[in-house]
Chains A and B, each alone.
Chain A
Amino acid sequence: MKIDGMEYEFPEGMNVLQACESIGIHIPHFCYHPALKVVGSCRMCKVEVIQNERKRIDISCNVMVQDGLEIITDSAPVRTARRMTLEFLLANHPLDCPICDDAGECELQNYYLAYGRNDSRMREVKRHRRKATEIGPSIMLDGERCVLCSRCARFVEEITRTRELGIFGMGSSEELMVNPGASLDNDYAGNVVDLCPVGALTDKDFRFKRRVWFLQSVPSICQLCSRGCNVRIDYDINPFHEHKRNINMRTHRSEATRYARIQRIKPRVNSDVNGYWICDRGRYGYRSTDAADRLLKALVRGENGLEESDVTKALKQIASGVSSAVGKGADRVAIVVSPRLTNEELFAVHRLFRERLDMPSMDHRIPVDPDWYGDDLLRTPDPFPNRTTCEWLGIIPADRGFGITELPDAIASGKVNTLISILADPRDYLDETAIRKLKRRYYILRQMPDDLREFTDVALPAAAWGEYRGTFTNFNGRLQRLEAAFEPLGDARPVWRLMTDLAPLLKKPLGLKSFDDVFAALTHKISLFADFTWRNIGDEGVMAIRNRQEVTA
């Protein structure tokens, strides 16, 4: 078939809009979404279709590709048709762009600049609707801004199958609303905001927080379950906000979300992992990065309780404690590693404590929060993003070693007197009497709850999500990349850096200087990663297991 005078071939079953997008011609549209059914309600994607020597203007989302079809995507009649459609859509639009959160990424604005550019000819009074209506715990609806594309209604109908939203009324009184008595509170409700091409559905969490043109973004991977959904971190580092946030974090021990650096999380499209969606847990689970209880300085127990110190001094204290414990047997030190660490961090921990120091008691199997649940769309039953690599590296107790389940007995009988807990709160797997009985309690933590301070001897600050680069391996064995959005707060640094700094103090240098060194050493260590470099992982990740099957076959 022909598009704009050029011959192309497309597979059967594709519609003209998809075909045009696949060759890089953008067709304006509101209601069409590749993951949802076609309804053809917005009439914006009009193109000229020449079929059997006859010319007509038709919506491209509803015309299937076929032999002998000729499409003209940009001509005077097409532009006129689009402009007229847009004029009808804008007839009742409130034009409150200055206070609309979607301004800047609004399709109506973009298409108006591309096709409309006409003054309003509306003589009648604009139809008024409910503004700023709460339709769920996280979503606000503005009925006036809605263009009735029904993407959100189709989403709750087809993807989540919860059916909270519907379009009610007929003609000009048509209106999007939640079903009577319902509330848009499913686990994927936040996706309707991404679906909405205009500012009708906005995120209560992002409401009025920042205009979108101030945001910078960086691709990352969600760390809240083992699926590893591809997300985009939208952040804003403004000196004024930094200053305010520092004041907030010093004065209130509460969540400093208003001045947080991460402003919101948006999904990235990856058809092999998460499609177009992310769950609300991942969407609103970014607050820990800028939480007020972030550990910013190393803490060392001195004569007057815990004191802030510099990281080198704290590392020296850990090194002397560990070497004196190891002097009486390497199994006296228990190391608990959270599967929240990146591959590189896990690798550095493993290389130092298992390969160099040969410590048998090392485990990653932290009990899973009983409130956590998986579902059949995206959420997996495992809330840790990187358990696969823990298993591949072998972060499990060796012979004579103690796992997490045996740890309380081992502590009670005095076989273990030193605990190194990396990104894991020890109270998750030990009771308080056991922690009290330990002689040396060393933690590497991102957040330091106040009630953990009495159980701490040394605590080192670790970089939080968004502050480090790295890779995660998801439950399918897919290796995916995280990029750092900003610098770590305070003295915090990634765990692999703490390990490379700790190793020379234990007289076992790792020989790793930079992140690239760690990544290269990791790909040598795990044979499944042998073919991968930082660059060829790409933004969408690569399957490590399929790679192995090809190698072994």
Chain B
Amino acid sequence: MQKKVTNITFNPGFKENIYYPEVFRGLWITNRHFFVNMWRHTLNLFGIRTKVRPAVTYQYPEDPRPAHYRLRGRHRLTEKQNGAMRCTACMLCETICPCDCIHIVPGESPDPHIEKFPEEFTIDLLRCCYCGFCVEACPVDAIRMDVTRTEMAGYTRDIILTKELLLGKVKAHPWENWIAEGVEEKAG
């Protein structure tokens, strides 16, 4: 079947032509930002008016944006000084979790000085709402949310952090290695 093609001829009249002033207005705004920021950077350089912060562009991901010190990033499980897990599998984080994203399977620890430890500790990151209640609920400071760990993208729909990932024994994503290598290259 042949497709029906309709040609529409567009003749800009006066109504359409008056957009040219808007183009120049946009250029004016861009230029104003550029020169104002330039001016502020120059003043900051000499230590004048440092309270007004000029705009900055970060070269992400090689040069990550500085985060607020209370930002809640990706979870991490902490270790004791002897390398054992701090977590005692008390399930308080699982209890408080409003999105049901933490699942712990407790078990008897092989270490005779420790009674209970998590055999499995999984966090379903896509369910997590980063409220940080798990960190607050933890009685032994075993789970933390780091400021620096903010890269959490993935190529699948099951970004599930296992115990090894949370402990940092394994890198969370393959591209994290790549980013780390890139940063080192840049530094070296």
Contacts and interface: CB of A to CB of B under 8 A. Distances in A.
Interface of A: 96-99, 103, 131-132, 207-209, 211, 213-214, 240, 258
Interface of B: 88-92, 95, 103, 105-108, 115-116, 139-140
14 contacts: A96-B115, A98-B92, A98-B140, A99-B89, A99-B90, A103-B90, A207-B108, A208-B107, A208-B108, A209-B106, A211-B90, A211-B91, A214-B95, A240-B103
Given A208-B106, A208-B107, A240-B103, A99 B92 contact: no
A98 B88 contact: yes
A131 B140 CA distance: 20
B125 to A, nearest CB: 15
Given A208-B106, A208-B107, A98 B90 contact: yes
A453 to B, nearest CB: 33
B134 to A, nearest CB: 14
Contact of A211 (B95, B107, B140): B95
A98 B139 contact: yes
B70 to A, nearest CB: 26
Interface-centre pick from B95, B105, B140 (highest chain A CB count, 10 A): B105
Given A131-B115, A213-B95, 11 more contacts: A97-B90, A99-B88, A99-B90, A99-B116, A207-B108, A208-B108, A211-B90, A211-B91, A214-B91, A240-B103, A258-B105
A208 B89 contact: yes
A208 B95 contact: no
A99 B106 CA distance: 10
Nearest to A241: B103
B116 A208 contact: yes
Q: Which 10 A-B pairs have the closest CB atoms?
A: A98-B90, A99-B116, A208-B106, A211-B91, A240-B103, A99-B88, A98-B88, A98-B139, A99-B115, A208-B116
B88 A132 contact: no
Interface-centre pick from B88, B92, B107, B115 (highest chain A CB count, 10 A): B115
Nearest to B120: A244
Contacts of B140: 98
Contacts of A103: 90
Contacts of A97: 90
A252 to B, nearest CB: 16
Contacts of B89: 99, 208
Interface-centre pick from A97, A208, A214 (highest chain B CB count, 10 A): A208
Contacts of A99: 88-90, 115-116
A99 B95 CA distance: 14
A468 B22 CA distance: 74
Contacts of B90: 97-99, 103, 211
Contacts of A240: 103
A494 to B, nearest CB: 31
B115 A132 contact: yes
A112 to B, nearest CB: 15
Contacts of A211: 90-91, 95
A208 B115 CA distance: 10
A207 B89 CA distance: 12
B52 to A, nearest CB: 49
A103 B92 CA distance: 11
A97 B139 CA distance: 10
B92 to A, nearest CB: 7
A211 B94 CA distance: 10
B176 to A, nearest CB: 26
Contacts of A213: 95
B165 to A, nearest CB: 17
Nearest to A96: B115
B139 to A, nearest CB: 5
Contacts of A214: 91, 95
A97 B90 CA distance: 8
Nearest to B108: A208
A131 B108 CA distance: 13
A97 B89 CA distance: 11
